[in-house]
Amino acid sequence: MLTNQSILMTGGTGSFGHMFTAMTLAKYNPRRLVIFSRDEMKQWEMAKLYGDDPRVRFFIGDVRDKDRLARALNGIDLVVHAAATKIVPTAEYNPFECVKTNVIGAMNLIDACIDQGVKRVVALSTDKASSPANLYGATKLASDKLFVAGNSYSGGNETRFSVVRYGNVMGSRGSVIPFFMSLLDKGGKLPITDERMTRFMITLEQGVELVWHAFEDMVGGEIYVKKIPSMKLPDIARAVKPDAQFDIVGVRPGEKLHEQMIGIEDAPYTYEYPEHFKILPAIHKWSEDPARIRDGAKVPNDFVYSSDNNKEWMSTDELAAWIHTNRHLVGKI
């Protein structure tokens, strides 16, 4: 699906963008991979990694600017939408800016993709979009709904939109693992928000593979949810520092005790597959479409997929081994 295609990725200089670029160039050999983002310094740094590769292009722009998107999407076949304002406290204290990027930016991209005849679009979502408790999650829920509805909004146009949703990316910039590691040399206790807190654990490689699968499988309007393990926050800390003692600092504004990726409201439209779930659109009876269901098994109507009721758990030793192997990437990806 991606071989010899022209691909554009919004927010392409972030953690996901770096991994998607490296893996996609290696496996699929696209005709073009355009990195669209607004940070010229991040683009300059990333360009040094691919300076001699004619397949990689860089395009300064912002998803808030519809005209710039239209220009960048000229001749593009596939789009990965990774641009977002995503730090929970930042969104709480800068709500207008969060809405402009996450909601208005999604609207702009949908319009521009339809107008430019893009074939398929996969948007990245978050666990926080399921039963949102903070502004970031609320904007991403709105974004998800926009991309799902974009399949009917496009009319006779062939542009199709789908969404992938996953939780905490292990070792990514700003996440808890590099934060704990940054405190090791300072001694003392590690700050823990709440000892009951649980989190889903996914690698960037798994996130990229889920996007690849969405491009191959999508009919339009599906939300793909990867099956991944959970961990308790104290166990994450012990994987970084086995003898860790904790300073309980309390839950931050808008933060959940447990991550949720599929809520009970979505259960009637959700199907299970060996490695993922798929939430089908409630509109237009698309959730009954055999082409979208394929070989999926309907989940129970009271089904909830959250980090505290997960069937799969990652051990402290497993995470410690992952950190040891990937230490050179932690906090840099």
Residue 121 lies in domain: 6-166+202-226+260-304
pLDDT in tens, 119-146: 999 999 999 999 999 999 999 999 999 9
SS3 content of the chain, % helix, strand, coil (to 5): 40, 20, 40
Query: Is the confidence at residue 174, as pLDDT, over 80?
Result: no
Q: Give this prediction's pTM.
A: 0.95
Q: How confident is the model at residue 331 (pLDDT cuts 50, 70, 90)?
A: confident
Across the chain, mean pLDDT equals 95
Inside any domain, residue 50: yes
Cα distances (angstroms) measured from residue 299 to each of 94, 137, 279: 38, 24, 10
Inside any domain, residue 332: no
Number of domains in the chain: 1
Inside any domain, residue 90: yes
**HSE-CB of 41 using CA atoms within 13 angstroms:** 0
Inside any domain, residue 315: no
Inside any domain, residue 288: yes
Positions marked catalytic:
128
Phi-psi region at 312: left, alpha or beta (left = phi > 0; alpha = psi -120 to 50) = beta
Query: Is the confidence at residue 333, as pLDDT, over 90?
Result: no
Inside any domain, residue 114: yes
Inside any domain, residue 136: yes
Contact (Cβ atoms closer than 8 angstroms) between residue 277 and residue 312? no
CA 221 – CA 174 distance, rounded (Å): 30
pLDDT in tens, 198-216: 999 999 999 999 999 999 9
Inside any domain, residue 250: no
CATH number of the domain where residue 109 is located = 3.40.50.720
CA 147 – CA 153 distance, rounded (Å): 9
pLDDT in tens, 238-261: 999 999 999 999 987 778 899 999
